[in-house]
Amino acid sequence: METKQYDVIILGGGPAGLTAGIYLARAKANALVVDTSTIGGQTVLTYEVANYPGVEKTSGYQLSSTMRKQAESFGCDIVSNVSVSNLEVDGKLKSLTVNGKIKYESKAIILATGGRSRTLNVPGEIEFKGKGISYCATCDGDFFQDKEIVVVGGGNSALEEADSLTKYASKVTILHEFDYFQALGHAVEKAKSNPKIEFIMKSHITEFHGDSKLTGISYESLDLGKKSVMKVDGVFIFIGYVANTEKLTDSGVGLNERGEVITDENLQTNIEGVFAAGDNRAVRYRQITTAVADGTIAALNTLEYINQ
Amino acid sequence: MILSTNLKHVATSAEHAETLANNKNVMICCGRMGPMCLPVYDVMEGLQSEYSHVEFRDMAFDSPEAGVIRNHPACRSFMGLPFVVYYKNGELVAATSSIQNRDQITEILDREF
């Protein structure tokens, strides 16, 4: 097996990982970004980014591409769409194996594995993905012209996307597990004032129904236990994110009960030379800006670590 | 109408037929330049060297010519971009709707080709 040496390996090529790559490579550290998927992480899945300071409206893909070019321009190596095995972080030398062919070794590692959309994990969800169940309103909204749909969730994404989906759908029902919304006031007001939007609170979906495509849902009232069935053509799910830390479970890196990486204020984990940055950390807010800040802090502390 | 990816494109239904006639194993991603499609194009680009026996192409979903994929019976129930179709010896052997990751795509490539 081929072995390659780096000063720092960054696992994950979203905004946190790319920012760390930019800072490390610019400081002349030999840095490698490895991603099991597309470079850009969740940002690539964002249709429009309008609140990234210094950049007027842009697409998530464009922003990610620019970050990637910046990192590469400073000499950061980047590999994407690879499978990672044998992640070893507990020794003085950290290592990971890519596609079972190349072993990368480094003095330090930054875990920037990001997160992914949370799924409901109820029967029928996998079967009807792309056949009535969607996680992207801008991508799939036009398949639901004059249809009746449900939006699951109560955060900003759910309420804003529900409002945008009324451009297509004849009726949008927001189904949420709590009796209040986590979304900001302006998003709640806009959804509540939209005549095409109805609300079912304190309820959750228990099953998706259909044949070749989705035709309905079963849902249950969480306070009364009342079970109901609703005919719907589509369901859009926006219920937050989970950390991509499955590969870290047996690595010795400290995780909390939600599987998020625990770090100190320097973003170092419980293992020396292992840092974490971005959406995989145990934090309240997950934004591109917070991931970028994490990437910066992790990179600077990693530099200090490898140079001590 | 073509997509701005680094993949080879299928622009017309005639090109679609020609691609199937000239290649034993074909994967076509029919989509837009949107969030659910871009990662799939990226995975396909990365797989080209590893799966040299497969012809990887894309096709613009909004082109009238893409009806050859959009209206295929296997895609009739699809309501999520991209529509990805796999052909072996000119016959459609697998089709998926919505975003797929590398593992999901290679699982189909390994199974069918």
Chain B residues near residue A133 by CB distance under 8 angstroms: 80
Give me Rg for the CA atoms of chain B.
Answer: 12
Determine the residue of chain A that is closest to B84 in CA distance: A130
Q: Examine the domain organization and report whether A231 and A249 are in the same domain.
A: no
User: At the top level of CATH, which class does the domain B8-112 belong to?
Assistant: alpha beta
Give A73-125 pLDDT, tens digit per residue. 999 999 998 889 889 999 999 999 998 899 999 999 999 999 998 999 999 99
Q: Do B80 and A143 touch (CB under 8 A)?
A: yes
Task: In whole angstroms, give the CA distance from residue A189 to residue A40.
Answer: 32
Which of A237, A255, A285 represents a domain boundary (last residue)? A237
Chain B residues near residue A46 by CB distance under 8 angstroms: 35
Q: Examine the domain organization and report whether A249 and A225 are in the same domain.
A: no
Q: Which tokens belong to A40?
A: 């850009």
Find which of B79, B99, B102 to mutate to test the A interface (most A CBs within 10 Å of its CB): B79
ipTM value, please give it.
0.85
Q: Examine the domain organization and report whether A109 and A160 are in the same domain.
A: no
A44, A46, A213 ranked by CB distance to B39: nearest:
A44
Q: Examine the domain organization and report whether A113 and A249 are in the same domain.
A: yes
Q: Examine the domain organization and report whether A96 and A180 are in the same domain.
A: no
Q: Do B80 and A37 touch (CB under 8 A)?
A: no
Q: Is A14 exposed, middle or buried (0-12, 13-18, 19+ CB in 10 A)?
A: buried
pLDDT at A285: 87
Chain A contact for B102, CB < 8 A? yes
| CB proximity list for B22: less than 8 A, separation 6 or greater | none
3-state secondary structure of A307: helix
Structural domain count of chain A: 2
Q: Average pLDDT for consecutive 10-residue bins of chain A (308 residues)?
A: 96 98 98 94 87 92 94 97 91 93 97 94 96 93 96 95 96 97 94 97 97 96 95 96 92 95 97 97 92 98 96
Chain A residues near residue B32 by CB distance under 8 angstroms: 139
How many CB atoms are closer than 10 A to CB A225? 7
Give the pTM. Answer: 0.84
CATH classification at residue A214: 3.50.50.60
Q: Do B101 and A37 touch (CB under 8 A)?
A: yes
Give A51-68 pLDDT, tens digit per residue. 999 999 898 989 999 999
